[in-house]
Structure 1
Amino acid sequence: MDLKLEVIVLPVSDVDRARSFYEAAGFRLDIDHVAGEDYRVVQFTPPGSECSIILGKGVTSAAPGSAQGLYLIVLDIEEARAELIGRGIEVGEVFHDAGGLFHHGHEAGEVAYGAGDEGRVGGPHPDRADYGSYATFSDPDGNGWVLQEVKKRAPGR
């Protein structure tokens, strides 16, 4: 049985502000549908992704900014970071984890997604190991995104 992740719902406080942010980040606008005063659904798809995000009004009861650890896989962490910055998105510095593959915990709402500087080493992984280099950013509500560099996916992926 295949189970394919299709959509992630992001809680936001201002739909128009969030729409502008994701458009600026280069996400493809798929839908902006209004069905009355209390319901609006906006769907975006990140470039190259099969999974989309939905935000809007009346689509979730979750607190704005509470979605964390949303990973975007990129081929070149420094290039992806530079492109987002060029689009006006504030992105943290590239880092890797001192202990290995997966960076330490996180705190909601931080642009520098992760447990402060605990376990972080500035710059990409020294060997540019797949799954080893990160950069982070947040949308205007604090929903936390992580860029992760992967050139060759693990077998079976």
Structure 2
Amino acid sequence: MDWKIELVAIPVTDVDRAKDFYTKIGFNADFDESPTEGIRFVQLTPPGSACSICIGTGITEAAPGSVEGMQVVVASAEAVYEQLVAAGVEATPVKDMGWGLFTFFADPDGNKWAVQELPNRG
């Protein structure tokens, strides 16, 4: 039986600000609904990803900004770094860490992301 990770909750303080941030850096806004009182569920998907994130109200008790280690894999860390900077996001310059090229950034609440370009294994 397959086990597929398809959705990860990211705790935020301001849903609209977070949605604007993630769409500004290229995530697709798939869903934004309030199915019941006290719940707002926003699903966002990075380009080409089978896994989405969700933000909202009433969906997680985790503290906003408490997520560390979210990682995406891309074809070009440098291209993503340039895209992030162009969008006004503070990102670290691309660094070769031996197991890939990386840039790092955080969302407005401080949730931390790593962007990895896998090494050429020729």
After TM superposition, is the score higher than 0.5? yes
Larger radius of gyration: 1
Q: What's 2:41 paired with?
A: 41
Normalising by the residue count of structure 2, what TM-score does the alignment of the two structures yield?
0.91
Which sits farther off after the overlay, 143-152 or 55-64? 143-152
Q: What's 1:146 paired with?
A: 114
Of 123, 126, 133, 2:101 maps to 133
Paired with 1:37 and 1:142, the residues of 2 have a C-alpha distance of: 27
Asked if the contact 2:27–2:46 (Cα under 8 Å) also holds between the matched residues in 1, the reply is yes
Report deviation, 1:65.
Answer: 0.7
Paired with 2:15 and 2:58, the residues of 1 have a C-alpha distance of: 11
**C-alpha RMSD over aligned residues:** 1.6
Encode CA deviations 1:103-150: one digit per residue, 9 max, x unaligned. Answer: xxxxxxxxxxxxxxxxxxxxxxxxxxxxx2111000000111101002
The answer to which structure has the higher strand fraction is: 2
Q: Check if 1:82 corresponds to 2:82.
A: yes
Asked if the contact 1:24–1:88 (Cα under 8 Å) also holds between the matched residues in 2, the reply is no
Report deviation, 1:56.
Answer: 0.2
Report deviation, 1:96.
Answer: 2.7
Which sections of structure 2, spanning at least 5 residues, go unmatched? none
SS at match of 1:63: coil
Q: How many residues align?
A: 121
Q: Percent identity?
A: 46
Report deviation, 1:4.
Answer: 1.2
Report deviation, 1:152.
Answer: 5.6
